[in-house]
Amino acid sequence: MSNYLLEELKENEINKNKIIELFNNNVKGVDICLDEYNKKHCGKEGHWLERKMGIKHNSKNEPDIYGYEMKKNSNKTTLGDFSACEYAFSNNNKRNIINSLNNWTDEIKLSRHDFIKIFGNPNPIKENRYSWSGNCVPKYNEWNTNGQIIIIDENNNIIIKYSFSKDTRTIIKNDFPSFIKDDNIIIALWNSSRMKKIINNKFNKNGFFICKKINDKYEKISFGKPFDFEYFIESFRNKKIIFDSGMYEGNPRNYSQFRGSYFWNDLIIEEC
């Protein structure tokens, strides 16, 4: 093994030990106090954990600390909130690929509000507020009752398609715009080159670590090996990673989240 690789391994071990020290000193066994955080914010505990680990909350496309991406353990641990490169409601100058593949022109316009109402469902618990979340969001290679499916094309682009003929909802679909009353139209697209950069930058440095709870306190920390975009795509095909949209009316965030459950366990190499 070259001196360079030995030095790199030594540095990685030092950085890992720094993370373990931060966890043991600031997180392990500590009562989780969220009083100063917005009670309605579902990510408040994650922000508490970031602060305790000395991580400043940001949206940079890079690992959180010392070349590692940090995660907190959950049933569906999130890889990230990765908005699509293009949605059907994107501005015309940002909808070039969808326009080309759907044979749409710049005259065809779809607002984000209409996108959610056409492709999403109302939530009776939220006064019938429409959202593109839950059952109306497709899984990989499966048509759902809203006429949607996720595919991965030959270039590893992630694509969501809609087919009017496969939409089994009882809503009045006759009110849809004529350009929606078609099959195999693309309504969202994640370009592989952009996703490759995101995944490789965040997860293919030193890897990741997951802070795990026992009862109500964090007690363990698990380290996982790095992975690249090709591994991500293969895991998506195997349904170890899912697309979990949380888009809804009244909030400008797209909440285009990618999550995994058993996916992480396959990569864990150490726990302490």
11-25, 76-90, 165-179, 223-237: the lowest-pLDDT one? 165-179
9-18, 83-92, 113-122: the lowest-pLDDT one? 9-18
Considering the chain, tell me which residue range(s) the CATH 3.40.210 domain(s) occupy. Answer: 3-78+200-228+261-271
Cα 211 to Cα 227: distance, rounded to the nearest angstrom: 19
- pLDDT of 1: 61
Sheet holding 207-214, edge to edge: 68-72, 207-214, 217-224, 268-271
CB 173 within 8 A of CB 167: yes
61: confidence class by pLDDT, cuts 50, 70, 90 = confident
Does the pLDDT of residue 270 top 90, yes or no?
A: yes
- When the pLDDT of each residue in the chain is averaged and rounded to a whole number, the result is 92
Q: Name the percent of the chain lying above pLDDT 90.
A: 82
pLDDT in tens, 115-170: 999 999 999 999 999 999 999 999 999 999 999 999 999 999 999 999 999 999 98
Tell me the pTM: 0.92
75: confidence class by pLDDT, cuts 50, 70, 90 = confident
Q: Which two tokens stand for residue 109?
A: 């316009």
Does the pLDDT of residue 3 top 80, yes or no?
A: no
Cα 109 to Cα 89: distance, rounded to the nearest angstrom: 7
- pLDDT of 4: 64
CB 32 within 8 A of CB 217: yes
261: confidence class by pLDDT, cuts 50, 70, 90 = confident
Does the pLDDT of residue 38 top 60, yes or no?
A: no
- pLDDT of 33: 85
pLDDT in tens, 178-215: 999 999 999 999 999 999 999 999 999 999 999 999 99
CB 202 within 8 A of CB 231: no
Does the pLDDT of residue 256 top 90, yes or no?
A: yes
Q: Which two tokens stand for residue 163?
A: 């087919």
* The CATH classification of domain 3-78+200-228+261-271, taken from the options 3.40.210, 3.30.2010, 3.30.420, 1.10.287: 3.40.210
- pLDDT of 42: 63
- pLDDT of 65: 96
Does the pLDDT of residue 272 top 70, yes or no?
A: yes
pLDDT in tens, 103-118: 999 999 999 999 999 9
Does the pLDDT of residue 11 top 80, yes or no?
A: yes
Separation in Å, CA 171 to CA 18, 54, 160, 176:
56, 50, 21, 10
In what helix (H) or strand (E) does residue 101 lie, and over which residues does it extend? helix 96-102
Q: Name the percent of the chain lying above pLDDT 70.
A: 95
